[in-house]
Amino acid sequence: MDSFNLSGPSRFRSRVREVALGRRHPLHDLTQTNVPAIAISLSEIREIQEHERARRVAMYFGSVKNGVLSEIRLVEAQWTDENRRADEIDQLRQDLETFIQPAHKVARAGAYREFLRRQRPN
């Protein structure tokens, strides 16, 4: 059969009771509480977290900025391409009109001759 030592919890209760009654104070100065070390550690953790947050914000901002600049360049290229395409269409239209105009005159003259032939008695 196992036996358990119960003196530990009762000894803790008696020390708590002594401290509560003011008979005995277990901590003689603030450094024994580790509060200053905890405060320093917490401020270091906060500083690390702030640096990490600032780094992530800067990285995200850079990513968004690069994406926006890429989109602007793409739209600008498309706009330039559309303007160039419109200029090419205008040039092709002028070239086509220049090429077709003489043929159109000949066709009109041929149609008029055909009309005259039909109107003339045989």
pLDDT per residue over 76-121, tens digit each? 998 888 888 888 888 989 988 887 777 777 777 777 777 777 777 7
What's the token pair of residue 104? 């159109």
Q: What is the pLDDT of residues 29-73, one digit of tens each?
A: 767 778 888 999 999 999 999 999 999 999 999 999 999 999 999
The domain of 112 spans 28-119
Q: What is the pLDDT of residue 84?
A: 87
121: left (phi over 0), alpha (psi -120 to 50) or beta: beta
Residue 110 lies inside a defined structural domain of this protein: yes
The C-alpha atoms of residue 65 and residue 74 are separated, in whole angstroms, by 14
Residue 2 lies inside a defined structural domain of this protein: no
Q: What is the pLDDT of residue 12?
A: 67
Nearest to 75 by CA among 67, 63, 65: 67
Residue 23 lies inside a defined structural domain of this protein: no
- Reply yes or no on whether the pLDDT at 10 is more than 80: no
Confidence of residue 27 (pLDDT cuts 50, 70, 90): low
- Reply yes or no on whether the pLDDT at 22 is more than 80: no
The C-alpha atoms of residue 56 and residue 60 are separated, in whole angstroms, by 6
Residue 6 lies inside a defined structural domain of this protein: no
Q: What is the pLDDT of residue 8?
A: 57
Mean pLDDT of 5-10: 59
Residues 19 and 26 sit within 8 Å (Cβ to Cβ): yes
Residue 111 lies inside a defined structural domain of this protein: yes
Q: How many domains, the chain?
A: 1
Residue 39 lies inside a defined structural domain of this protein: yes
Residue 12 lies inside a defined structural domain of this protein: no
Residue 95 lies inside a defined structural domain of this protein: yes
